[in-house]
């Protein structure tokens, strides 16, 4: 993947926005107050990344470890 694509973003002031962002580059988001900069950065891009991360955790197998012993004590 060499780019991040946003299609049809509709959060707060964003009205069906399409956007292509190159990866591994410094990107600056500018605009007037209330134009949707934070909505794009946090409510759209960050939220999607967080959703994908959490979704990836559900693919992990559950592991349970049970030990019998006193915490902080060594048995010799």
Specify if 70 maps to a domain. Answer: no
pLDDT tens-digit map of 52-61: 888 888 877 7
Could you tell me what percent of the chain has a pLDDT over 90? 51
- Looking at the structure of the chain, the number of domains it has is 1
Specify if 24 maps to a domain. Answer: yes
Return the structure tokens found at 11.
């959060």
Specify if 33 maps to a domain. Answer: yes
Specify if 53 maps to a domain. Answer: yes
Specify if 64 maps to a domain. Answer: no
Rounded to 5°, angle at Cα 47 from 44 and 53: 140
Domain hosting 10: range is 3-57
Spatial separation of the C-alpha atoms in residues 24 and 50, rounded to whole Å:
19
Specify if 69 maps to a domain. Answer: no
Specify if 38 maps to a domain. Answer: yes
- Cite the beta strand spans of the chain per DSSP E: 3-9, 17-22
Specify if 17 maps to a domain. Answer: yes
The answer to whether the pTM exceeds 0.85 is: no
Q: 19: which strand partners? A: 6
């Amino acid at each position: 993947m060499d780019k991040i694509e946003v299609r049809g973003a509709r959060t707060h002031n964003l009205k069906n926005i399409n956007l292509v962002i190159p990866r591994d580059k410094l990107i600056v988001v500018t605009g007037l107050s209330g134009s949707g900069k934070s909505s794009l950065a946090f409510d759209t891009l960050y939220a999607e990344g967080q959703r994908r991360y959490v979704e990836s955790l559900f693919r992990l197998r559950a592991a349970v470890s049970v030990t019998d012993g006193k915490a902080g004590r060594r048995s010799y």
